[in-house]
Amino acid sequence: MHAYRDQYAQLFRNGRDVVLIAVSTDSPEALASWAQDDEFPFLFGSDEGARVGRQYGSFIERPNGALDNRTLFVIDPQGRIAHVAAPFREIDPTAYEELGAAIDRVAPPRVESEGT
């Protein structure tokens, strides 16, 4: 999550035309505390029962325990999944290049006119 925070301004355009929501099986209280302590500039959602994770395939039941996989979804303005990175390779710099390209496809950067 720190990599998202550290690249938020550039990759997620400081939230302009892009909304980042990190979903976790942690409790709302734990997520709120973590978000405040580490100064995350984006939203967190709690999926304590892993309903969302199971529905979208990021929470996987295994005989030796469950796996809450880091899966990244880019949703287009119509609410459709436009890109899936499963699992998201957070330590691979090319993963952020791919994510940036996927974001640009669904929400092209605005071109600023001179004087604005």
- What phi and psi values does residue 36 have, to the nearest 5 degrees? -70, -45
Specify if 111 maps to a domain: no
Q: How many distinct structural domains can be found in the chain?
A: 1
**Domain carrying residue 39:** 2-106
Specify if 114 maps to a domain: no
Specify if 116 maps to a domain: no
Specify if 55 maps to a domain: yes
pLDDT tens, residue order, the chain (116 aa): 788 888 888 888 888 888 888 888 889 999 999 999 999 888 888 999 889 888 888 888 888 877 777 788 888 888 898 988 888 888 888 988 998 999 999 888 887 765 55
Residue 65's CATH number: 3.40.30.10
Specify if 115 maps to a domain: no
Dihedral sign for Cα 100, 109, 81, 21, please. Answer: positive
- Prediction pTM value: 0.75
Cα separation, 116 vs 60, in Å, equals 48
Look-up of token digits 């709120």: 32
